[in-house]
Amino acid sequence: MTQFLIRRIFWALFLFLVATIITYLIFWVIPADPAALAAGKSATPADVARVSHYLHLDEPIWRQYLRFLWNLVGHQSLGNSFVTRQSVNHIIGQDAPVTASLVFGGAVFWLSLSIPVGILSALRPRSILDRVSMSFVLVGISAHPVWIGLILSYLIGYRLHITPIVGYCNFFPGGEGVQCSGPVQWAYHLILPWITFMILFAALYVRLVRANVMETMSEDYVRTARAKGASESRVMIQHVLRNSLLPVVTILGMDLGLALGGAIFTESIFSLPGLGHEVINAYNASDLPLITGIVTFATVCVITFNFIVDITYGFLDPRIRPN
């Protein structure tokens, strides 16, 4: 187990280095002048040079990268934004809960739709339910999140006035200068983004659950369970479900890790101040520390969720449990 953990930590460090170095390299390659952007429109060349020096942009890229690493290791700091001079830690700390609310809430939505529908489709292949859900899957896979989001906010938000069209409210009540807060407002504002997520992901997950359940039902041990005299519901719950949901856990972990790094489209459509929204702004302003900070955070999310998947998998499947 310790060996496993040590291997995982080394792997995580390696991934982190690769991801951040690539971010710096891309930044170095693209023709942008962040100093000029930061200095403002009416700045003189001398001002720009001063800003450039102040932001360490006049240093070679490898020194900038080492400085980033040193700040991270020595001061647990991701640096300050070129544009607002706010600490990147603080910005991510503000944005991450928004993205997390969107992703985890969305996951609850898409799982609670796709697991039952997938199972029912598998039990009655070629039935009406199966056909309807497969058509829905096709739409979900083909449609772009921007389109789904716009259609939803137009119909349900703008036309029917059932939900707000855009915006976000904090889960925890209070806070200064916030228009709205509290769990109810939080959920109310997130319903449409969640449904967008649901349509997007449920599509894949229905297929995944259906295929896995069908495959598991033809396993020899399921026949053994029937030969024992187990009822159909017992066969399903005790023998089919756990085995068939194993691969779903893997995919879910990867999707969650990935989505936490920023659900760019969905956040943009619904003006949610999350990481995806932030990364677009940062990119437009060539705000390297902020971009690197978000990349770092996303890498950590992916690594963490892969780790959680491994642990869960070992818990669910005794065959790969260490010892």
What does the binding site for other proteins look like in residue numbers (CB under 8 A)?
219-221, 223-232, 234, 238-239, 242-243, 316-319
Closer to other proteins by Cβ: residue 8 or 226: 226
Closest separation between CB of residue 231 and other proteins, Å? 6
Closest separation between CB of residue 230 and other proteins, Å? 6
Closer to other proteins by Cβ: residue 198 or 235: 235
Nearest to 98 by CA among 268, 245, 232, 221: 268
Closer to other proteins by Cβ: residue 3 or 233: 233
Closer to other proteins by Cβ: residue 177 or 318: 318
Closer to other proteins by Cβ: residue 29 or 227: 227
Residues whose CB is less than 8 angstroms from the CB of residue 226 and which lie 6 or more positions away in sequence, other chains included: 235
Closest separation between CB of residue 214 and other proteins, Å? 12
* Cα(68)–Cα(19) distance, integer angstroms: 13
Name the residue type at position 123: L
Q: DSSP code of 235? A: I
Closest separation between CB of residue 157 and other proteins, Å? 44
Q: Where are the alpha helices (DSSP H) in 30-76?
A: 34-39, 45-54, 61-75
Closest separation between CB of residue 242 and other proteins, Å? 5
